A and B are shown apart, each in its own frame.
Chain A
Amino acid sequence: MKTIIHNRVLKGAGIAVAGLSALAVAVSAHAQQTLNIVSWGGAYSMSQQRAYHEPWMEMTGDEIVNIDRSANALAGLRSQTQAGNVTWDLVDMLPADAMIACAEGLIEPLDHDELLADAPDGTPPSEDFVDGALGECFVASIVYSNIVGFNTEMFPEDGQPSTIEDVFDLENYPGQRALMRRPINNLEWALIADGVDRDDVYDMLETEEGIQRAFAKLDTIKDNVIWWEEGAQPPQLLADQEVAFASAYNGRIFDAMVSEDQPFDIIWDAQVFELDGWVVPTGKLDKVRDYLYFATDTQRLADQAQYISYGPARMSSSDMVSTHAEAGIDMTPHMPTYPPNFATAIQKDDEFWADYLDELSQRFDAWLAQ
């Protein structure tokens, strides 16, 4: 599975022939409107702004309002639907949330081949997107990764950390750690740092011994952990040298490295990657149909990679990934799917977490409170 994804992402077909003529037809009969688009905020929203929103607004005269509520998108969708007053037109969310929202009928089922643009060479979307990118109600735009970043200034030059074991090694790599306050990722990393093979991680976590083992490993660093909750916190904590290590979304760390010249580096070992993309709230499909077609085409996904180091979810976009729009550096080695980065990657198991998140969250909280 992992190898399939990275091979296809990297070697995906794709010559950049703009599908803009087709788009122009789609857009011609378009009345100006305001689109409320929910996303994650920070550097990620900025990359969407530059790659999708600005060209779209210029082309159509539409107004796009960014709402940074993706972290609570499921709660928002539920309450808006209950209220019968859905104000969001398009929502960026994780596939796990999309599965739940879809089962509750909060979002529209999508016919991908009908709604989305073909690749420039005519490959239909269902074949052009990477595995798992197209869910019943979901279309991915990026592949991102949960990694651990560190501040290079806090370690001697010959003693820079490089593996996930180092994060759990207080003796050789002292300092505070910032981890996200939830069981996801942390339990996986704890097991891997404890020597579990990455293919066995989720099987292990379905057993009581596995869970205990993961918590026991986390116990060893518990006193040195600051728990964060907002995606913008880890780069901040690293920059302030409040912590030496911080788990984060890889794009946030990259953004701080490039845009703010922060002395950060990323431990790609045992990165937990997953997809992220669009869902359409029930009843909004007609309103956002054109925009969705535009924002998920090959060119747009490739453009986004100029602003943030998340891999495009379309294979045809991968080869078009070039340099960072401002810094001018080659983006390829900063992508989660770059082979040296990808060698020990784990794909987040959405079904496992759909079943066990309630229970493990409670257990995680109880563990934190001990």
Chain B
Amino acid sequence: MAIPSYATRGERIWHYVFLGLCGLIFLFLVGPLLVIIPLSFNAQPYFTFTQEMLTFDPQGYSLRWYQDFFTSSRWLNAIKNSFIIGIASTILATLLGTIAALGLSSRHMPARGVIMALLISPMIVPLIISAAAMFFFFSRINLAQTYLGVILAHTALGIPFVVITVTATLSSFDTTLIRAAHSLGANPTRTFFKVVLPLVTPGVVSGALFAFITSFDEVVVVLFIAGPEQRTMPIQMWSGIREQISPTILAVATLLVLLSMLLLTTLELLRRRGERLRGVTPG
């Protein structure tokens, strides 16, 4: 954002004040996530920087909380559960959501607005209400305290994200490309695999990533309907924070921040690929 050449002195000052302000807001956004990373290497069971840490004394740092994490069967089991539930519900949500998005993006879809509003509702209804409702219903049909129950619940919560991202991709999909492929002599199968699929895949994958992270981060529903066997990471963190807040939580948090960085990078690469394929050049 360049300063226009006609800017007055006051405007120049305001411009830099504004940039400084934005810097502070970015600090507010990202700072907290960065603070916990060094704290997770604290040698002491405190949530703050110790004298040794501030003087960069190696004595002040240790990997004990990571060791704690990787040697605790509870945490490892929780990770395993989170991945099982996350992956299974992502597959289900992506499958159902993508098929539905294909229908929704048809020009002739009847009652589109109503149906869309309904499909998005799991994202809007307060989680505590969804959780309580699923708790009663799943208990009655013997699905509470089972993996299947948690997976189905998370599928419902992940669906809006898949529907939103895939319909968005499909709506920006240029149908003339299909006609172009046909006119250039490609048969429908070849067109689908060579033209349609590469263009739609980024949308589907990012929808799937959203569905995964939704499940991977979900506490409330699991709190209500999961049994002891289905303890997930977030549940383990939740009880950790409420009961015995130890820096192991910070170690886990750091690992999760790294995970989200990884997911975000994947997403960004996908987006760029999608843009490149669609012929949108970044400015």
- A–B contact with Cβ pairs below 8 Å: the answer is yes
**Residues in A neighbouring B139, C-beta threshold 8 A:** 79-80, 82-83
Chain B residue with Cβ nearest A84: B142
Question: Beyond A79-B144, A82-B140, is A87–B227 a contact (Cβ under 8 Å)?
Answer: yes
Roughly how many angstroms separate A236 CA and B80 CA in the complex, as a whole number? Answer: 30
Determine whether A85 belongs to the interface, using a CB cutoff of 8 Å to chain B.
yes
- Per the bound structure, the CA–CA distance linking A231 and B243 in Å amounts to 7
Shortest CB-to-CB span from A249 to chain B, Å, is: 13
Q: Is A42 an interface residue (CB 8 A)?
A: yes
Taking a contact as CB atoms under 8 Å apart, the answer to whether B239 and A68 are in contact is yes
Interface residue A184 (Cβ < 8 Å from any Cβ of B): no
Interface presence of B242 (CB below 8 A): yes
Task: Let me know if A65 and B228 touch, CB within 8 A.
Answer: yes
Let me know if B145 and A83 touch, CB within 8 A.
Answer: yes
CA of A82 to CA of B139, assembled, Å: 7
A36 within 8 A of B: yes
Bound complex: CA A230 to CA B239 (Å): 10
Report the Cα distance A42→B244, complex, angstroms. 8
As a 0/1 sequence over residues 65 to 98 of chain A, the CB contacts with chain B under 8 angstroms (1 = contact) are 1011100000000011011110100000000000
Task: Flag A225-245 by CB within 8 Å of B: 1 or 0 each.
Answer: 000011111001000000000
Q: Take A65-B228, A67-B228 as given contacts and tell me if A85 and B145 are in contact as well, using a CB distance cutoff of 8 Å.
A: yes
- Tally chain A residues at the interface, Cβ within 8 Å: 20
- A206 to B243: give the CA distance in the assembly, Å: 34
**Are A80 and B243 within 8 A (Cβ)?**
no
Contact B245 A85 (CB under 8 A): no
Residue of B nearest to A72 (CB): B223
- Please determine whether A87 and B243 come into contact, CB atoms closer than 8 angstroms: no
B243 touches A41 (CB 8 A): yes
Q: CB within 8 Å of A: which of B225-265?
A: 227-229, 239, 242-245
Say yes or no: is B65 at the interface (Cβ < 8 Å to chain A).
Answer: no
Sorting the interface of chain B by its residue count into under 10, 10 to 19, 20 to 34 or 35 or more gives 10 to 19
Report chain A residues within 8 Å CB of B244.
42, 232, 236
Chain A residues 32 to 84 lying within 8 A of chain B, measured CB to CB, are: 36, 41-42, 65, 67-69, 79-80, 82-84
B135 interfacial contact with A, CB 8 Å: yes
- When each residue 109-151 of chain B gets 1 if its CB lies under 8 Å from chain A and 0 otherwise, what string results? 0000000000000000000000000010011101011000000
Residues of A contacting B138 in the complex (Cβ-Cβ under 8 angstroms): 83
Instruction: List chain B residues, Cβ under 8 A from A231.
Output: 243
Is B245 within 8 A of A87, CB to CB? no
- In the complex, which residues 223-267 of chain A have their Cβ closer than 8 Å to any Cβ of chain B? 229-233, 236
Q: A83 touching B140 by the CB < 8 A rule? A: yes
In the assembled complex, how far is the CB of residue A42 from the closest CB belonging to chain B, in whole angstroms?
7
A36 to B145, CA, bound (A): 13
Q: Are A233 and B145 in contact (CB under 8 A)?
A: no
Q: Is the CB of A79 within 8 A of B243?
A: no
Neighbour of A230 across the interface among B144, B145, B229, B242, CB < 8 A: B242
Residues from chain A with a CB closer than 8 A to the CB of B242 are 229-230, 233
Whether A79 contacts B228 by the Cβ 8 Å rule is no
Q: Complex formed: what's the CA distance from A42 to B243 in Å?
A: 9
B140–A236 touching, CB < 8 Å: no
Q: Which chain B residues border A41 with CB–CB below 8 Å?
A: 243
Assuming the contacts A79-B139, A80-B145, asked whether A36 and B228 have C-beta atoms less than 8 A apart, the reply is: yes
| Chain A residue nearest to B46 in the complex (CB) | A240
Partner of A87, one of B135, B140, B145: B145
**For residue A229, which residues in chain B have a CB less than 8 angstroms away from its CB?**
242
A87, B142: Cβ atoms under 8 Å? no
CB-CB < 8 A to A80: which residues of B?
Answer: 139, 144-145
Cα(A67)–Cα(B140), bound, Å: 23
> Residue on B with the closest CB to A231?
B243
* A1-45, CB < 8 A from B: 36, 41-42
Q: Are B245 and A236 in contact (CB under 8 A)?
A: yes
Interface string of B17-44 (1 = CB under 8 A from A): 0000000000000000000000000000
Contact present for A83 and B243 (CB under 8 Å): no
Residue of B nearest to A67 (CB): B228
A238 nearest CB across to chain B (Å): 14
Least distance between A68 CB and chain B CB atoms (Å): 7
B228:A83 contact, CB within 8 angstroms: no
For A236, what are the chain B residues with a Cβ–Cβ distance below 8 Å?
Answer: 244-245
> In this complex, which of B138, B139, B142 has the most chain A Cβ atoms within 10 angstroms of its Cβ?
B139
* Complex contact A233–B243 (CB within 8 A): yes
Report 30 cross-chain contacts, Cβ distance below 8 Å, ordered by A residue.
Answer: A41-B243, A42-B243, A42-B244, A67-B228, A68-B239, A68-B243, A69-B228, A79-B139, A80-B144, A80-B145, A82-B139, A82-B140, A83-B138, A83-B139, A83-B140, A83-B142, A83-B144, A83-B145, A84-B142, A85-B142, A85-B144, A85-B145, A87-B227, A87-B229, A230-B242, A230-B243, A231-B243, A232-B244, A233-B242, A236-B244
Extra contacts, 12 of them, besides A67-B228, A68-B239, A80-B139 (Cβ < 8 A), are: A68-B243, A69-B228, A80-B144, A82-B139, A83-B142, A83-B144, A87-B145, A87-B228, A231-B243, A232-B243, A236-B244, A236-B245
CB-CB nearest 7 A-B residue pairs: A83-B139, A232-B243, A67-B228, A232-B244, A230-B243, A83-B144, A79-B139
Which residues of A line the B interface, CB within 8 A? Answer: 36, 41-42, 65, 67-69, 79-80, 82-85, 87, 229-233, 236
